Amino acid sequence: MNYPFSAVLGMDDMRLALLLNAVSPAIGGVLVRGEKGTAKSTAVRALAALLPPVDRVAGCRFGCDPAVPDPGCPDGPHPTAAPAERRPARLVELPVGAAEDRVVGSLDLEKALAEGVRAFEPGLLAAAHRGVLYVDEVNLLHDHLVDLLLDAAAMGRCHVEREGVSVSHAARFLLVGTMNPEEGELRPQLLDRFGLTVEVTASRDPAVRVEVVRRRLAADADPAGFAVRWAEADAEVARRVAAARRRLDRVVLPDAALRQIAEVCAAFDVDGMRADIVTARAAVAHAAWQGRERVTAEDVRVAARLALPHRRRRDPFDSPGLDDKRLDEALDRAREEHPDDPDDDGGPGPGGGPTGPDHDDPSGPGDGDRPGPEHDDGPGDPTGPGTGSDGPDRGGDDVTGTAAPDGPATGQPRHGARAASTQPVAVPDQGLRARLLTATGVGDGVPGRRSRARTGRGRTTGARLPARRAGALHLPATLRAAAPHQHGRGRRGGPLVLRPTDLREAVREGREGNLVLFVVDASGSMGARQRMAAVKGAVLALLTDAYQRRDKVAVVAFRGTGAQTLLPATSSVLAASTRLADLPTGGRTPLAEGLLAAADLLRVQRLRDPKRRPLVLVVTDGRATAGPHPLDRAARAAAVLAASGASCVVVDCESGPVRLDLAGRLAAQLGAAHHRLTEVATAPLADLAAGRPTGSRRPIPGPGGTRALSATTITGSVA
């Protein structure tokens, strides 16, 4: 049994964004960003129960509306008087590990080739038609699947093209994605495709947290009874959603509101026109939700707060959020430039009170100043408006409440702003650029955009017998396999006779993501020579490149008497830059500890992600001064790291007229490429390491055999 939507405590922005999409799915869905345990999944699952039921053509696997059936439905064509059946709006969950066939549907290639019939099995997009498609941890979903989902959501149709067989069906759904930013970000192009976005964070108010736990325990102890206590409030929300849908087509969007939308989008310098369109649709939906038939300035303000934060990010180092002061200034500027425009000043609407998420609880039946059922958790249990934990269907995975917008009681940042956003963030110099870094050969790693690998997408390089059911068919190889057997199969000038054993699956080559591990010397000698500025610049430039190419990056720093994993393997650029902003320096040089820490990190990472190939960049002057026999210990540690088989590169930071060439000796012990920091700033590492002209890509020897490395070039000044 799902947790009641009206019992979700706080998170007004998230609830409002979900409800506006329920009123007008044309907004384009909502992306919920927040830390773990903040009831993101709870609210999404509860929303589906509030949507009106839908009628569909009886027996149609694609959920066609009997009033306007899809003319291209694979189960059609449906007659005009086809029998109908009513069912609740569906909530379809897309697992992170889903394959493309499971998402869009699959063709039975054996029947298509052997029997000449088009047999199509619908996927999750067909099941979600006229319902809700929920993608938890959407940032962990591969890019091509996210592209596919967003394209279907934008067009309202799903197209499946494979080996000359084409299927198309309607796929209109409310798309909701949730993610934890600490696990990596979505690309800006994908962020822009989500209509609205909200940030949620756990409340730091003890009273709120106590109420969250109380409701969580009450729901676990008696799910049915808890649902009954909130049934009236949920029913009222469902009635408001249905009424707002009916009112939506009558809402007027005046020119004054359009000018305000344009002024706000221009003020925040967002790219393209999607922001203006989404803000307009959200403003119309908010007016309908509030019971008005004319969009006001307050509707525009609420819509902009939900539609613009993720579109103003210029690069992955920008923290999300929207400046309310700038928003109000833009709205005021639009009113001042067109003072004679007939427009509502954002005052009380038909509902009779101030509007917007700061004043109106979106899950309640009326204005926020008026208590409703959502403020009472049954007899004798006055509470706030919700819970912050997952419902019983999740088995209690989420146990933390979330904060309402700031007020005198909580003192929390508005819009779920993270405390981390106030911390210093290291931003790369705009002159620093990272070139493509690839590992040699063809891997079999996770999909990405860097090194060559055997993947499910990309150019076809060969054919093979399918392990189970054939995936992407290699038609020429299938025909070649069937040709020698045609006489024995009785073919006499007719069609080619195929058998399941003739099928050949295409082998495709695409790109994979890698793990780039920096092992950084942060000892006193590095700090004295002001090399850390260059090192940080190199790390941040490569981190930006890794973000764009879907890599993971890790940083190990060593100083004093030991080593520290400064940054575990991650693809979160914002988290990485925050930790790199204040990398301390000083003390002795425990080189052995740094190398052993790197080897240990690689060992753990191979267990977690065995297909992601690593590249280790050791940034040091080669000195080892900590502990007994430091150079001998460093040599033994280098042997341990070399035995891991990882590709290694040593960046020599030694400077001055007298050079000990300790970094060169370390490179020989690691079987790694070796070059100076000043050289790294002007030419690719692999070319310099092999003594070749820039741009050459011949293999170089390494501990795991022959490999070619194209490494990072850092352009700009180096300290």
Catalytic residues: 274
Backbone phi and psi for residue 252, each to the nearest 5 degrees, phi listed first:
-95, 130
**Secondary structure in 3-state letters for 593-611:** HHHHHHHHHHHHHHHHCCC
* Angstrom distances, CA of residue 173 to CA of 19, 71, 224, 238: 14, 18, 29, 18
**Secondary structure in 3-state letters for 95-116:** CCCCCHHHHHEEECHHHHHHCC
Q: Give the amino acid at 378.
A: G
Question: How far apart (Å, rounded) are the C-alpha atoms in residues 671 and 666?
Answer: 8
Nearest to 132 by CA among 94, 104, 92, 178: 92
Question: How far apart (Å, rounded) are the C-alpha atoms in residues 276 and 195?
Answer: 11
Whether the Cβ atoms of residue 575 and residue 425 lie closer than 8 Å to each other: no
Question: How far apart (Å, rounded) are the C-alpha atoms in residues 252 and 315?
Answer: 36
Backbone phi and psi for residue 127, each to the nearest 5 degrees, phi listed first:
-65, -30
The two beta strands, 673-676 and 700-702, are unpaired
In three-state secondary structure terms, 143 is: helix
In three-state secondary structure terms, 213 is: helix
Place of tokens 């790294």: 680
The crossing angle, in degrees rounded to 10, of helices 255-267 and 274-289 is 130
- DSSP annotation of 252 reads B
Q: Give the amino acid at 210.
A: V
Strands (E), 444-504: 447-455, 459-464
Q: Give 637's Cβ-side CA count (13 Å radius).
A: 21
Question: How far apart (Å, rounded) are the C-alpha atoms in residues 495 and 268?
Answer: 63
590, burial (CB in 10 Å: exposed 0-12, middle 13-18, buried 19+):
buried
The two beta strands, 562-570 and 673-676, are unpaired
Nearest to 336 by CA among 401, 282, 263: 263
Whether the Cβ atoms of residue 22 and residue 237 lie closer than 8 Å to each other: no
Strands (E), 354-491: 447-455, 459-464
* Angstrom distances, CA of residue 217 to CA of 206, 230, 231, 377, 667: 17, 15, 18, 13, 58
Cβ–Cβ contacts within 10 Å for residue 320, how many?
21
Nearest to 571 by CA among 143, 149, 148, 200: 143
Whether the Cβ atoms of residue 160 and residue 120 lie closer than 8 Å to each other: yes
In three-state secondary structure terms, 676 is: strand
Q: What angle do CA 712, 621, 710 make, to 5 degrees?
A: 15
In three-state secondary structure terms, 311 is: helix
* DSSP one-letter string for 311-334: GS--STTSPP---HHHHHHHHHHH
Per-residue burial over 335-344, b = 16 or more CB atoms within 10 Å of its CB, e = otherwise:
beeeeeeebb
Question: How far apart (Å, rounded) are the C-alpha atoms in residues 35 and 31?
Answer: 13
